[in-house]
């Protein structure tokens, strides 16, 4: 198996964190990293022990859910809670940070923001990141799976295709099946 890049590794972690989100509108994950080591992570959701959007719906004011703490803020707050400095660290986020998170990331000393998807990229956030010297890098997420039985599955499919080939099945149909198998693996 080919190793994934550091960017893909940390972005995958952020997408994994997003699976814990309790927001029904958008799931977001964030991973704070220093020296290729994860120092904190967060996802968007309610305060600890509070009511969750998935249970009672979003509490929307001015088209924004006020019940939800953003993933970036949760990750920064985790650093603060456990005394882990964020100065000079980097953050990997599933979506471009909102304006409020942008300001918090700058104030926390984050030096680079990696994001997988554009999401309402506020022009003032872009200006503030540039003004403060925070680098932005879009890292499109390439989902992958870890399947310990992948080799065995591939061997089985190849044996089945070989059996079909020996049975004089239509060659065009067999080629389409082979193409589908190649896409799977």
Residue 169: the pLDDT is 84
* Count of positions (residues) in the chain: 185
Which of 62-66, 89-93, 154-158 is most confident? 89-93
Prediction pTM value: 0.80
Residue 148: the pLDDT is 77
Residue 1: the pLDDT is 59
Is 80 exceeded by the pLDDT of residue 144? no
Residue 181: the pLDDT is 85
Band of the pLDDT at 154, cuts 50, 70, 90?
confident
Catalytically annotated residue among 72, 90, 142, 152: 72
Residue 151: the pLDDT is 82
Structure tokens at 120: 């309402």
Which of 114, 110, 116, 136 has its CA nearest to residue 125? 136
* Residue 28 · residue 93 · CB < 8 Å: yes
Catalytic: 2? no
Q: What count of Cα atoms within 13 Å lies in the side-chain half-sphere of residue 68?
A: 30
Is 80 exceeded by the pLDDT of residue 146? no
Mean pLDDT value across the chain: 93
**pLDDT tens-digit readout, 75-104:** 999 999 999 999 999 999 999 999 999 999
Long-range contacts, stretch 118-124, CB < 8 angstroms, 24+ apart: 119/26, 119/95, 120/96, 121/96, 122/98, 124/99
Residue 62: the pLDDT is 92
DSSP state of 86: -
Lowest mean pLDDT of 49-53, 112-116, 129-133, name the range: 49-53
């Amino acid at each position: 198996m080919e190793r994934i890049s550091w960017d893909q590794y940390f972005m995958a972690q952020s997408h994994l964190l997003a699976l814990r989100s309790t927001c029904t509108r958008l799931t977001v994950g964030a991973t704070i990293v220093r020296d290729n080591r994860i120092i904190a992570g967060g996802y968007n959701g309610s305060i600890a022990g509070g009511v969750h959007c998935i249970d009672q719906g979003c509490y929307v004011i001015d088209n924004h859910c006020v019940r939800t703490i953003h993933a970036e803020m949760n990750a920064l707050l985790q650093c603060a809670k456990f005394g882990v400095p964020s100065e000079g660290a980097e953050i990997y986020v599933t979506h471009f940070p909102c304006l409020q998170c942008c300001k918090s990331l700058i104030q926390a000393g984050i030096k680079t923001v990696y994001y997988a998807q554009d999401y309402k990229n506020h022009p003032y956030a872009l200006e503030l990141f540039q003004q403060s010297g925070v680098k932005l890098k879009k890292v499109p997420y390439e989902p992958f799976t870890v399947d310990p039985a992948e080799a065995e599955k591939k061997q089985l499919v190849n044996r089945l295709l070989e059996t079909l080939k020996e049975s004089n099945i239509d060659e065009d149909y067999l080629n389409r099946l082979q193409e589908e198998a190649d896409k799977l693996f």
